[in-house]
Amino acid sequence: MSLIAFIAPDMSLFESARQLFKTHHSDIHIVKGLLHEGVAIATALCSKGTEIIISRGGTATAIRNAGLEITVVEIPITGFDIIRTVEKAKLHGRTIGAVTFSSLLQEADCLSPILGVDIRLYPIDAEEEADTQVSQAFQDGVDVVIGGFITKQVTQKRDYPFELIESGAEGILQAAQEAKRIAHARNLEKEKTSLFRAVLNYAYEGIISVDSQYRITFFNPIAEQITGINSIKATGKNIAEVWPELNLKQVMHTGKDDLAHILKINEVDVLCNKIAIVVNNTTVGAVVTFQDVTQIQQMEARVRHRIYDFGHITNYSFKNIESTSTELIPTIEMAKDFALTHSSILIIGETGTGKEVFAQSIHNYSERHQGPFVAINCAALPSQILESELFGYVGGAFTGANPKGKPGLFEVAHGGTIFLDEIAEMEYVTQGKLLRIVQEKKVMRLGSDRVIPIDVRVIAATNKNLKNLVNENKFRADLYYRLNVLQLRIPPLRNRKEDIKLLAQFFLKEHKGFIKHHLKLAPSAIKALTEYTWPGNIRELQNIIERVIAVHKIETIDAAIINRLLGDQQDNNDNHADILPNELEEIKKALALTKGKYAEAAKILGISRSTLWRKLKRFGIQKTV
């Protein structure tokens, strides 16, 4: 169906339009219908998609007054149309009565002196008034009546002289051009509306608009999702029926926006903005935007993850833990159960047992696996620096601080896990500050007064007996009980001898890329490894295998080479950080060889980095950071 229709009151106008529209306006549908008949036709056309009706006089007025959702373009009566009609009417006399709708009389009276006639106006506003006005005109002594199609019908019945005011080509084409302009403008408006509606429909926020009577005019899918109310049912309703707690009266009365309020709808907390729509200093409606607070928190977590998470990733999961031990397998299963909770975990185990491997595996097995995993060794940093690393600081908080400030590791770990290794080495004062964060789930940067909410799971690890430290007042009891919600004990390697062969072969395979020849462990070598007590646990075993690979030149590794390296290891091993003769010189040499790199120096010495740090403190040497 055409978007534009031409309703002609009689056949003469119908034929004129048909001839004029053949060339340039063939897409305009032409139909005949006068007054009420024209209204019925317009109603039918409107239901089929017609948006613009062209007509004239009383028919145009009747269609316009019918309340249809349609645009009416009236054919104008030009001065040329009046002149042509008056010239015909002058044949009947010089006194002419114009009986027609007001829209056709706009230029008639001013033409009287120009045309040398007396034109008297008898306007009508409805079809039934035509008979009375025609009678009145002839009673007043007019010689002839001019008018539209209704007047023509009345005069024909009485055989009165009459001339029809016909619409010329100029007016018909002008109306057609106007209808086309309106159609084009409406299409552009439709495109903009469709684009605007698409943007609103696919926005991440719920959006509701209301008119000046608080009736809902727009209700997007997200609003439907959050409220649980069908948008079709909501549209047209008073907003108070759908969301009583919203209260838009203040915004509508003042015209001022009301932003960032947390409200509840359908048992969901939402962050809500209420914006007044003001036109010419009058509030004509309002728009409400709202978003599920949970989604905002998730987006905040993703932003933090994107900005701060560089390098805070995991390398291990439970599948990386090699074991056939009846001691370790239950520990793995317990760790998996712990991972499914949100509670703090304390991992206890000797140096080198793989506490961080378990911490990373727990993180990867938990619901937080997509969040960051942030690890810090509490023994590796002096307390002041440790605090700034954990809690962050604002610009200028202390001498040498980054002028832009720095987020703490708790902030960086938001939505994920923070691993506090060697927690027993943390100083007592710092423990109190850590306790506050663990309890309140909020952090305050050094030098700041702003509290930042965090969602972080804490996993702590130690190789010491924290309970004894609590009894000795070296570790805070309240922090101990906060961290020790779930406890995981990692058995030492000497208690899981069946894993030694498995781990040795794994490390041999893992590091074989360092050499060109293939190595394998002889049964005697495996026996030697199994009989050793491994005070340094898995880390020590890994170091031994790396040394074997580095120094052994033949394919099969026997017990002799293992025993020799283990003998050297026993000489260097210091599980309790005891000071051996000439040890200071050895440490200095290792640091000189590695140019001050503590991790590499510890590897050369066959001890952990934290053990090296404790030895340096015993010698009274401060580690530089």
CB 505 within 8 A of CB 526: no
pLDDT tens per residue across span 255-301: 888 888 888 777 778 888 999 988 888 889 999 988 877 776 666 66
Domain boundaries along the sequence of the chain: 4-75+171-183, 79-166, 203-290, 318-489, 497-618
Residue 10 has pLDDT above 60, yes or no: yes
Q: What is the pLDDT of residue 491?
A: 93
- Sequence-ordered list of residues with C-beta below 8 angstroms from that of 136, at least 6 positions apart, any chain: 122
Unique residue bearing structure tokens 């040329």: 80
pLDDT tens per residue across span 553-569: 777 888 888 888 877 65
- Sequence-ordered list of residues with C-beta below 8 angstroms from that of 573, at least 6 positions apart, any chain: 535, 536, 540, 606, 607
Nearest to 536 by CA among 605, 607, 601: 607
Q: Confidence class of residue 517 from pLDDT cuts 50, 70 and 90? A: low
Nearest to 462 by CA among 368, 337, 353, 386: 353
CATH of domain 318-489: 3.40.50.300
CB 565 within 8 A of CB 583: no
Q: What is the pLDDT of residue 297?
A: 63
Average pLDDT, the chain: 84
203-290 CATH choice from 3.40.50.1370, 3.30.450.20, 3.30.70.260, 3.10.20.30:
3.30.450.20
* Most confident by average pLDDT, 342-346, 572-576, 579-583: 342-346
Of 76-85, 307-316, 542-551, minimum mean pLDDT range: 307-316
Token pair, residue 362, equals: 């727990």
CATH of domain 79-166: 3.40.50.10660
Same fold, 4-75+171-183 and 79-166: yes
Residue 88 has pLDDT above 70, yes or no: yes
Q: What is the pLDDT of residue 624?
A: 47
pLDDT tens per residue across span 308-346: 555 566 788 999 898 888 889 999 999 999 999 999 999
CATH of domain 4-75+171-183: 3.40.50.2300
pTM of the predicted structure, to 2 decimals: 0.51
Residue 435 has pLDDT above 80, yes or no: yes
Residue 505 has pLDDT above 80, yes or no: yes
Residues 454 and 301: their CA atoms lie apart, in Å, by 9
Residue 35 has pLDDT above 90, yes or no: no
497-618 CATH choice from 3.10.20.30, 1.10.3720.10, 1.10.760.10, 1.10.8.60:
1.10.8.60
Q: What is the pLDDT of residue 72?
A: 93
Residue 430 has pLDDT above 70, yes or no: yes
CB 395 within 8 A of CB 402: yes
Q: Percentage of the chain surpassing pLDDT 70?
A: 89
Q: What is the pLDDT of residue 73?
A: 93
